[in-house]
Structure 1
């Protein structure tokens, strides 16, 4: 079907997608198995595991900016390959962890390398893909990641079913190997031309200038608030379903399937509607409205008197939520790329991407406290938070787009000038 497109067109976009697919399959198995491995096999308590992950993602959020800056100076291709190899080695170190100090070091290395890899990959995408195609390419990558995670989770489920040390070690080893394979795939890309040399010559102004860019910081903060949707399906809803609804526990899996399939099939189509900063701001504004509606639907699931009623309401809410997620992603990617100076994409993407790490860091505790303690009111407050951030994004983007930072105005102009050509050149959009 014409409206369902998963594989990007040939060239750098397809190579980037292959690299993402490779290590997302490994990550899917890791996410399913890792906590049980560390608790049941290594013997660590859930509290200590949670504390290590919290510290790790906090460090990762900080490390992404300097590692992204390194990608600007030395070239994003080489740093992306280096970070992919380092991430694979960090995952491999988990195989030998038998004490909490060793686990703490391994987790911190893993999260820092992951955040650095994310920043370098985004900078590599920006260097290899023309501005008018970046959001579309990012949508393809998101679809690819979700497909890979689903496949990896299925493989991880086999390890859970076997429930042996060997099965868990195999899943972790596969994740580590997947990053090494992804690094090999990235070697097939040509290095972006022009940008690193200018940065290395000292022509890019103060080092880590993103830390002085207040408009971009505001945009990144609002994006981070919107990203708080991330712990909903993995942390909040399983607890909500068990404690507050009549729906069967397997509904959690059904919601994950709805989310994954929705993103895989329709994210690219959704991103085609975003062509420039105004349309990106509009998409995020709509995402705020849709996520508010999703929160209201999730709250309504507690009023169901039968398992079928509650389950159907939850499935409807999941459909609304994934629509908001896809709207947010499409607008957020365009804004993150277009507002960053062309020669500083690495550090800017590292800063912008830190919102994901922060959402993973504070989201589970914040949302479980708000929703499980507040019930319907908690859901509505969460929805109001999404709505407020979505409405505020438009003025923040207008402030940031006129701030006069070198290179931004020309980048925005390039997006605007070629946006209509993207649609006209591809009848499938």
Structure 2
């Protein structure tokens, strides 16, 4: 199979998966509360526990992909995710919900790590970041389509409509599994010696992953923090929340590939991350200016801030992808991607608490704190990447520029 055919199949699998996930994320919460009858607090607790379990499961499942083969493991975990989604439809109480949610989160986390290992085995290093950028753009488009389907279910408000959403998500995983099964089997890389604690013994990479987690704290901004900020701290119209979401999705779909085009090697990756830090700081400052302004001025600041935020997001994503692959030892990509990917789960778990407290309650100081923290973490990535590169010269990582 040619490289372009591999890329097309990976893109198709990503698109199918994103459509299902978009529908699920949009409508699942109301299904859990209205159809199953769970209290919102119990849903929140269950999902927090589930994603904590999933973040822990990602590393051993990624290691399984390294040992047993990335293609077979990816297919198996996609099927497991489909089964977990289907199990939500027969849940009648909290215990069953918690079990299904843990199974779903574990399968999703392991699937993400195994799919990254599969990509690493099929795509040469020079082409990975560009392909990942394309997959991110496709994913955003798919999420938008899926969110539309979920919105139709919310409008209908019936149990049958909600069950249709879960069926769509389950089918999306089955389609994804079928597409991945048709890819070539990547060559197995020698894994080399393994420490008892695996990736956790690789201190430079752990530091790199922790810094990336700090940069990912921005993730709840669009879905939670900005809606609350607009409602409680500004005079801007409530419908602007939807407009900012559309702006972000459209920008990533249209420009993520272009933003990642110049990000090659560890030096290029750290430069992109540092640029993202400065742009994010500027975006936080602009968001802060929206408080107390007239509705029109506040809306203008919010749109400008969202534009700066999505630019920072695209550069940071591209730099993070490059670093996570380039600094992982050959033969252990699945394990290392499983660990690096826990940053997304941690950011989604801690981000709402941290950002609602610091931004919505503190106001301008909270925005400036987030911007300063992001900038500091972005600059700390350079020495961390240099440390990780020097720890494994045989991996072929290039020196990391200081500026």
Give the TM-score, by structure 2 length.
Answer: 0.97
Aligned partners of 2:212, 2:164: CA distance in 1, in Å? 36
Preserved CA contact (<8 Å) 1:208 1:347: no
RMSD over equivalenced CA pairs, Å: 1.5
Preserved CA contact (<8 Å) 2:195 2:201: no
Aligned partners of 2:193, 2:10: CA distance in 1, in Å? 27
**Is residue 310 of structure 2 the alignment partner of residue 322 of structure 1?**
yes
Q: Structure 1 residue 206: deviation in Å? A: 3.0
- Which of 78, 82, 85 lines up with 2:72 in the alignment? 78
**Is residue 235 of structure 2 the alignment partner of residue 218 of structure 1?**
no
Aligned partners of 2:256, 2:80: CA distance in 1, in Å? 30
Q: Structure 1 residue 248: deviation in Å? A: 1.1
Per-residue deviation, residues 156-182 of structure 1 (Å, max 9, x unmatched): 111111111111110111111110110
2:252 alignment counterpart: 263
Aligned partners of 1:294, 1:91: CA distance in 2, in Å? 37
Preserved CA contact (<8 Å) 1:65 1:208: no
Q: Secondary structure at the match of 1:168?
A: helix
Q: Structure 1 residue 211: deviation in Å? A: 1.3
* Consecutive unaligned residues in structure 1, runs of 5 or more: 1-7, 417-429
Instruction: Map residues 178-327 of structure 1 onto 2, 5 A cutoff.
Output: 178-195=172-189, 198-199=190-191, 203-206=192-195, 209-305=198-294, 307-327=295-315
Give the TM-score, by structure 1 length.
Answer: 0.91
Q: Secondary structure at the match of 1:239?
A: helix
**Is residue 386 of structure 2 the alignment partner of residue 372 of structure 1?**
no
Q: Secondary structure at the match of 2:362?
A: helix
Q: Secondary structure at the match of 1:412?
A: coil
Aligned partners of 2:197, 2:59: CA distance in 1, in Å? 8
- Which of 146, 154, 174 lines up with 2:148 in the alignment? 154
- Which of 11, 31, 55 lines up with 1:37 in the alignment? 31
Q: Secondary structure at the match of 1:55?
A: helix
Q: Secondary structure at the match of 1:11?
A: helix
* Consecutive unaligned residues in structure 2, runs of 5 or more: none
Per-residue deviation, residues 80-102 of structure 1 (Å, max 9, x unmatched): 00110101111111111110100
1:355 alignment counterpart: 343
Aligned partners of 2:117, 2:3: CA distance in 1, in Å? 20
1:106 alignment counterpart: 100
2:332 alignment counterpart: 344
Q: Structure 1 residue 136: deviation in Å? A: 0.5
Q: Secondary structure at the match of 1:259?
A: helix
2:319 alignment counterpart: 331
Q: How many pairs are equivalent?
A: 399
